[in-house]
């Protein structure tokens, strides 16, 4: 079976190719309880909003923030299935 990173990247590419821009970011922190580094995955998409000055701006809307690659993968699969239903 392919590793999760490869599957996640393929799903991200497929979503972007079909017009749904998704960004995957990572951050790390040290857990004293587990005595190891923890990697957090952030799935976001750019959205437009009307700023205070009446000017349209763009920001990243956070869809999910998790330490589990499997949760990230499941979210991407749900997005892919929803996109396929719309087309």
Model confidence over 32-77: pLDDT tens digits? Answer: 999 999 999 999 999 999 988 889 999 999 999 999 999 999 999 9
Does pLDDT of 78 surpass 60?
Answer: yes
Q: How many CB atoms lie within 10 A of CB 68?
A: 13
pLDDT at 2: 67
pLDDT at 87: 74
Model confidence over 5-39: pLDDT tens digits? Answer: 999 999 999 999 999 999 999 999 999 999 999 99
This prediction has a pTM of: 0.87
Q: Helix/strand/coil (H, E, C) string of the chain?
A: CCCHHHHHHHHHHHHHHCCCCCEEEEEEEEECCCCEEEEEEEEEEEEEEECCCCCEEEEEEEEEEECCHHHHHHHHHHHHHHHHHHC
- d(CA 17, CA 27) in angstroms, rounded, equals 26
Q: Where are the domains of the chain?
A: 22-81
- d(CA 84, CA 72) in angstroms, rounded, equals 19
- CB contact at 8 A, 49 and 57: yes
């Amino acid at each position: 079976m392919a590793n999760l990173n490869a599957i996640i990247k393929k799903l991200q590419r497929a979503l972007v190719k079909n017009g749904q821009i998704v960004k995957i970011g990572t951050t790390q922190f040290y857990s004293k309880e587990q005595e190891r580094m923890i990697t957090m995955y952030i799935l976001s998409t750019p959205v437009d909003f009307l700023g205070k000055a009446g000017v349209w701006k763009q920001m990243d809307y956070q869809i999910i923030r998790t330490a589990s690659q499997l949760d990230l993968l499941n979210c991407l699969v749900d997005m892919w299935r929803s996109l396929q239903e719309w087309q």
